Structure 1
């Protein structure tokens, strides 16, 4: 065999890349291929922020390949048709692909396998490219997946991850294989103003800096909204510019409570993937139904719009929503607060919030996004499905001096300390001077409504 194809999807890197390594071990030449799947656009997943980050990743991947004598081949259209076309052009016998868990990805894999086999070619699918532990590898005695994180994490922690390896020294690509021009973020509109840059170089640099000066304090500060003490590596994990296996190894070498807490977050990521692999319907349906009759109609629409715009009257919620709009990213504590507020205080369907997040989040990952929304809404894997996060209490706890709120809600910069979390308590001229809305709902009213809806009154 002389030529293999590596089909890149959510694994846009050269370091620790099992499909690329396997292809190079078995072939004299390799076609590194990325197909811009038009069905992704049609399904509404082609959000501008992620398209911009993707463009950065593809440019960086192409640059890394060119440094090694190769290049990235980009095509557009149906993935199966384009891969088969390139296989004929290159006379390639094998296609290497990273395993994925969504229904869309697994359907694509099945279609591609059938099409290649019909043409006398093979599809080789590789695990532990985008996860540390393959979905379905760890299971309880009476089920095909873990439905609760804690027992899953116990098993996950005992798993020995595979070893890692560096980027290849050389990649030879057949000259005859044509490529479309690389996409560019410069051609996109509607981007968040402070959208981060993508690409493996950017991701590896951020990881090194994080392990050197951030991870030590992560256990104590990961919920600190104003301190911004999280890694911000989630976009790079989503696009696969960083290997989760490498992250686990490097964090464990760093050691300490912060590294342990960080590794636990990587386990949550695998946990959600094994849930979605076993229950693909959970991407759009309740994992555990509570028989909710979510609010609809004019009043709900007005509340949803206030939530999206960051004008609910609850400062920490509004701050987080404005951070999302500006950066295409949101602090994890902010994600919990905004999701709890929409689903439980406003009693709005979690799918409304999940859809809005996917429109803006550069790390808009289907498994993490949908299942975290369900966890917060109480229709997912949370063992306390009726918990409600109080935005005032949470704001005072995780933004005690109000710095996070004042950064993102400039209307409230004149309020000192924790008073910024309750601007409705201002009186007279002081209140009139602040151009900020009153709360869309009293917290007690929202709590009562939610409890009645869940039969908890």
Structure 2
């Protein structure tokens, strides 16, 4: 009897799962394995919101495997040690897993390959499980990766995608391999009260509903803050409960600016993956240094805390930060505005903002989070590094009636636009009746500070 192990990481699904299908083709039985690795906790990636969503995903994956005659095996410990231990218990012949291109994943894969080889086992690593196009498969002639999105997108769009794989009908699992209990959301503390539920079953229903009813207007409405017309599929893509390849196969036959705009967002996800795969240091250092003398925690403590707590005095910024705290998720336009405000208006180091986002975001992906923060800070791949998003202009454009602000900043629920975006301009008694702070910084002064700092940094770098 031949037995294969399928090591699940951030690909928690049974539909369109190349490692699972490959393992089933070559074996009489498989061991679907997920390892809860303390190294992930130690690295700071195990935030409560992601742990809660992960618990949902594992429970749903187990249910989907049981519906096919199998079950999910969960172990806790060093990933390499646990895979080798399970391989010995099951008398497995080989291990299949999805490719991951972070520096941590590369080190882990190398350790696992060497340990399995010592036991006489083979490791098969499958591409295009987490991404639609594998990092490194689309490169310019003069470099190992694209540093600008538009030429990458042109090449990415020409790639022939593999065909999506149906979920297997049966997943036979040997009885001899034991499992720990599945983690439960209810056992995890400090979870955002409005955090969405996870799992492949829910993700597939959500994707089907959105593609049927909303994607046609995505181009016009994806920046609509109160309309909340984004897909909210990013957590499912992050945990792999949805396949980017399958989504693209469903989108590409569609016509119109809505589907095209959403395809472009999926391309941005792959773009960031290929940048980080080629430049792992971009997770913690500037991809393109502007030699900024950023303000840090000591110098800007009060401003940073006001930003985190949604008490900056700029309602659209505070609304977005409060949405993040409540839902563990933030509207994409809100992410741009709050990142611009922290880095350009407050001139605070982008890493401080990136860490805070990773502590709360359920879709907190290192590649997308860190490189989007750098894009907005002007130290990443943005070709306009000095752009500043004015929160008042942006609020009036993307929340013209103030509905988004009133939803998340109840202190202002009695105000209508334009006053809801500039409550400090209210007459004395009306202003005094509202328990809401004045702006922590003047926008004109802040812009001057940023421009002077960038000019000084540019001169010092010559």
TM-score band, normalised by the shorter chain? over 0.9
1:60 maps to 2:72: no
User: Matched residues in 2 for 1:254 and 1:207: separation?
Assistant: 15
Aligned to 1:317: 317
Question: What is the alpha-carbon distance in structure 1 between the residues aligned to residue 97 and residue 453 of structure 2?
Answer: 46
How far has the Cα of 1:253 moved from its partner? 2.9
Contact 2:129–2:243, Cα closer than 8 Å, also in 1: yes
CA distance in 2, matches of 1:427, 1:100: 56
TM-score normalized by the length of structure 1: 0.99
2:442 is matched with which residue?
A: 442
Map of 1:347 onto structure 2? 347
Distance 1:34 1:286 in 2: 34
Maintained 8 Å contact 1:50/1:363: yes
Aligned residue number for residue 73 of structure 2: 73
Once the two structures are superposed, the pairs formed by residues 172-321 of structure 1 within 5 Å of their partners are 172-296=172-296, 298-321=298-321
Measured after TM superposition, the shift of residue 297 of structure 1 is 5.9
Contact in 2 for aligned 1:314/1:391 (Cα 8 Å): yes
Query: Is contact 2:323–2:329 with CA below 8 Å preserved after alignment?
Result: yes
Deviation, 1:165, is: 1.7
- Identify the residue that residue 27 of structure 1 maps to in structure 2: 27
Distance in 1 of aligned mates of 2:203 and 2:292: 41
Q: Which residue number in structure 2 is paired with residue 9 of structure 1?
A: 9
Q: Which residue of 2 aligns with 1:143?
A: 143
Judged with a 3 Å threshold, the aligned counterparts in structure 2 of structure 1 residues 272 and 297 are, in CA distance, closer, same or farther, namely: closer
Match of 2:157 in 1: 157
May I ask how many residue pairs the two structures share in their alignment?
457
| Contact 2:297–2:304 (Cα < 8 Å) also in 1 | no
Q: Classify the secondary structure of the residue corresponding to 2:445.
A: helix
Shift of 1:45: 1.1
8 Å Cα contact 2:419-2:426 kept in structure 1: no
Q: CA deviation at 1:118?
A: 1.3
Are the equivalent residues in 2 in contact too, given 1:321–1:338 (CA < 8 A)?
yes
Alpha-carbon separation, structure 1, partners of 2:181 and 2:298: 46
Distance in 2 (CA, whole Å) between partners of 1:254 and 1:418 is: 39
Q: CA deviation at 1:298?
A: 4.9
1:413 maps to what in 2?
413
Deviation at 1:250, TM superposition (A): 0.7
Query: What is aligned with 2:112?
Result: 112
Counterpart Cα distance in 1 of 2:419 and 2:101 = 45
Determine the structure 2 residue equivalent to 1:125.
Answer: 125
Post-superposition offset of 1:89: 0.6
Question: 2:104 and 2:372 mapped to 1: Cα distance?
Answer: 19
CA shift for structure 1 position 202: 0.6
Q: Which residue of 2 aligns with 1:98?
A: 98
* SS of equivalent residue, structure 2 residue 140: coil
1:451 — aligned with what? Answer: 451
Q: Distance in 2 between matches of 1:172 and 1:249?
A: 29
What is the alpha-carbon distance in structure 1 between the residues aligned to residue 112 and residue 255 of structure 2? 42
Deviation at 1:93, TM superposition (A): 1.1
**Would the aligned equivalents of 2:68 and 2:169 in 1 still touch at CA under 8 Å?**
yes
- Once the two structures are TM-superposed, the CA of residue 434 in structure 1 deviates from its matched residue by 1.0
* Preserved CA contact (<8 Å) 1:316 1:421: yes
Whether the 8 Å CA contact 1:192–1:328 is kept in 2: the answer is yes
Contact 2:4/2:95 (CA < 8 Å) preserved in 1? yes
Equivalent-residue separation in structure 2 for 1:295 and 1:30 (angstroms): 52
Give the drift of 1:414.
1.2
Alpha-carbon distance in 1 for matches of 2:51, 2:277: 25
On the 8 A contact 1:211/1:254 being kept in 2, the answer is no
Matched-pair contact (CA < 8 Å) for 2:6–2:31? yes
Cα deviation for residue 255 of structure 1 reads: 2.9
